[in-house]
Every structure is written in C-alpha cells, then in structure tokens.
Amino acid sequence: MNILIVANSGIGNTVLMTPLIQAIHERYPEGKIDLLIKSSNFDVIGSWPIVHKIYTYHESFNASDYDIAIAAEPSDRNTRQICRQSPRPVIRSKKNFFIMHEVQANMAMAYSLGFQGGIPPLYINMSENDSELNRFNDKIGIHIGSSNQPVYFKKRWTTEKWIELIKKIGYDQVVLIGGKDDEKHAEEIASGSQCVNVCSRYDIPKTARLVKNFKVLISTDSGPMHIATAAGTPVIALFGPTLIQKNHPWIKNGNGSILMYSNRYCSPCQYSYLFNLCDNNQCMQQIQVDQVLDAVNSMKNTQPHKTRIFIKGKHYLLNDRISQIILISRLRRKFNNFLARYYILRKKIFHKG
C-alpha cells in the first residue's frame, strides 16, 4: 500500500498535520507513507521513521502510482488536483473549514479511511540537547512574527509594545526566536530592550529543542507557536484577525496555554474580504502590555493544564467558550464581507473618473 499525503502549507499547519500521519501509519502499518510538502517544511518532519520519503512540493508531481492520496490543504487547488490523480483521492472537506480545529479536520480524513483510535499527539523533529542551547533553559521565549507575506503582518504586535513588555519582564529573562523573515523586526526589538536575539541562528530541530527548554513562549499565531505546543511548552498566544477555533494551540499535547484576544467588533476577519482591506490591525493593538504581563506572571506561578482565553481582562476556559467563539466568528465574517463590499463600492463611487 503506497500512500501520499500532500500539504502546500506553512510550518504551523505541517506540525498540525502530524497526528494525521501517525493515524494513517496505524491504520496501514505495512504501507509506505510519502509526503509532498514545501521544501521549507522538510525539517519539521526530518527522518521520522514512519515516513518513507519526503518530496518537495511542485505542481507537476504525479500521484497516479499511489493507492491513496490525501489532500490536507483543501483551499489549495493544485493540492486537490495532484491527489485526484490517485485511484483513491481523499480530499479534506471544506464544510467545517471555519469551525473545526486543523487537527480535527485532518483527523476526519483518517477516520473516513477506517482509523478507530484517539487523536495521536503532535510531532516535531527535535535535535539533541547541547550546551549552547542549555544556557537558555527556563528563559521566556518570544516569537514576534508570523509570515513575511504583507497580508500576514496584520497578525503582528507593534515593536513598541514588545519592547515595553520585555523591559517589564526583565531583558535578561527573554530570548527572541524566529526565522530570516523576522530578523529586521527582531533586531529593532533587541536594540530597544537589550534582550538576547537568536533569530535565524537555529534550524527547526534546534529551535524545537530551544523552545522545549523555555519556561513559556509568547507568540502571535505562528509556526513557532505550534512547535512549542508539540514540544510541550506552555504558550501565551496573541490572537487578532485569525480564527481561534481553527488555529489555537492544540491543548491535548501537553501543558495548557493562555490566549490573548481583544474581541474587537471586526475580529476575526480572516477569510473575509475585510482582511485584505484592513490597514491598522486594531484587534492586535488593543491587546495591552499589562494584560500579557499578567498572563506571564500567572504562568510563572502555576502552569495551566487547560487552555484559557483572556478577553478584555477576564479569563475563561477555552472549551467553555468555543461554541460562542465559533458563533461570533461566523456572524462577524458575514458582517465583514458586507462591510468590505460597502468600502469597495464607496471607493468606486467617490473615486470614479
């Protein structure tokens, strides 16, 4: 049995795909599982014994020799077309795209193929411990970026707020992490706060080991946030335009986390027309430094075993609020689409000619 799993997605979604890979391996223990992923995500998986071979993503890949081809990225047309070359394509449904967590949506495909177990834990390719990384043990990690694509800068917090937070925590307690995309922003923050900056110094396996040794990671909705969850490190995650119910740290993998959310009227706007029109990301900027600091202090004192969400200074268990969050995000998505159409129409009328 030859099985192909295709995902043209980022680091975070590749981490969230690993329970699906494990479930498919348990369902077909004698099968060979190949992956077709972005080259930048190769180190997320590395030399994982249950994966036979990893191919770099390209549109001309031929999947006709595979008995089963699984598309773990339903929004990508090329991924779906590649999988449909197989005699048995399994395409992730778009039906619950805005409701289910990425892990649950991926696992639905495993269950459709006859898998009957529980959801396996997240996996991350991690290096061995070494003296260079050990010097950062029990520090507080901060990842300040999300993606180098201009549209995803909306998920970032301001440089000034990061600097203020680091100074209040104590610059000698903080380590900035990230990739090449984060270098410029991280240098500005490190210069203003005097904290340690290791952005782009380590590859993904070493970053995973570094994050595992942190006391806590503070991050926006990003790949390192999911790496930390896979490594079992508590996370304080700042959410604004993106869908909490779809992207929150997967809590079944270890320690609980704290989510910071301003609950602005237009948030979340991801997957609505307003997302591309927004130019001030107030949903992120309304998260206050002292609110994040309170979360850090509470995490220092007691590591939570369940994920909590802080909304306007009040905290709730995420599971108790998830239905309400889903309902609100559905209504706001409709409202944001209406608002975006209004802005576009107004621009056409008043700028005509």
The ranges assigned to domains in the chain are 2-112, 131-339
pLDDT classification of 293: cutoffs 50, 70, 90? very high
Three-point CA angle 80, 103, 205, nearest 5°: 95
State pLDDT tens for residues 265-277: 888 888 888 888 8
What's the 3-state SS for the chain? CEEEEEECCCHHHHHHCHHHHHHHHHHCCCCEEEEEECHHHHHHHCCCCCCCEEEECCCCCCCCCCCEEEECCCCCHHHHHHHCCCCCEEECCCCCCCCCCHHHHHHHHHHHCCCCCCCCCCCCCCCCCCHHHHCCCCCEEEECCCCCCHHHHHHCCCHHHHHHHHHHHCHHHEEEECCHHHHHHHHHHHHHHCCEECCCCCCHHHHHHHHHCCCEEEEECCHHHHHHHHHCCCEEEEECCCCHHHHCCCHHHCCCCEEEECCCCCCCCCCCHHHHHCCCCHHHHCCCHHHHHHHHHHHHHCCCCCCEEEECCEEEEHHHHHHHHHHHHHHHHHHHHHHHHHHHHHHHHHCCC
Mean pLDDT of all residues belonging to the chain:
87
Residue 352 clears pLDDT 60, i.e. is over it: no
pLDDT tier at 331, thresholds 50, 70, 90? confident
What pLDDT was estimated at residue 73?
80
Q: Are strands 89-91 and 68-71 parallel, antiparallel or unpaired?
A: parallel
Q: Look up the CATH architecture of domain 131-339.
A: 3-Layer(aba) Sandwich (3.40)
Domain spanning 2-112, CATH class: alpha beta
Which CA distances in Å does 48 have to 21, 98, 304?
A: 10, 30, 30
Number of Cα atoms under 13 Å in the Cβ half of residue 209: 16
pLDDT at 307 over 70: yes
* Shared fold status for 2-112 and 131-339: yes
Q: Taking the model in full, what pTM does it have?
A: 0.90
Q: Where is pLDDT greater, at 26 or 281?
A: 26
Q: How far apart are CA 151 and CA 276, in angstroms?
A: 7
Q: What is the pLDDT of residue 176?
A: 96
Q: What integer pLDDT is reported at residue 179 of this predicted model?
A: 87
Query: Measured at the alpha carbon of residue 306, what is the angle toward residues 268 and 236, in degrees to the nearest 5?
Result: 55
Nearest to 4 by CA among 43, 31, 41: 31
Of residues 122 and 315, more confidence is placed in 122
Residue 302 reports pLDDT greater than 70: no
Please state which of the ranges 23-32, 116-125, 318-327 shows the lowest mean pLDDT: 318-327
Q: Which residues, 6 or more positions from 128, have their beta carbon under 8 angstroms from its beta carbon?
A: 209
The C-alpha atoms of residue 196 and residue 215 are separated, in whole angstroms, by: 16
pLDDT surpasses 50 at 353: no
Q: Please state, as a whole number, how many other Cβ atoms lie within 10 Å of the Cβ of residue 78.
A: 16
Percent of the chain with pLDDT over 70: 92
Q: Using an 8 Å Cβ cutoff, are 12 and 225 in contact?
A: yes
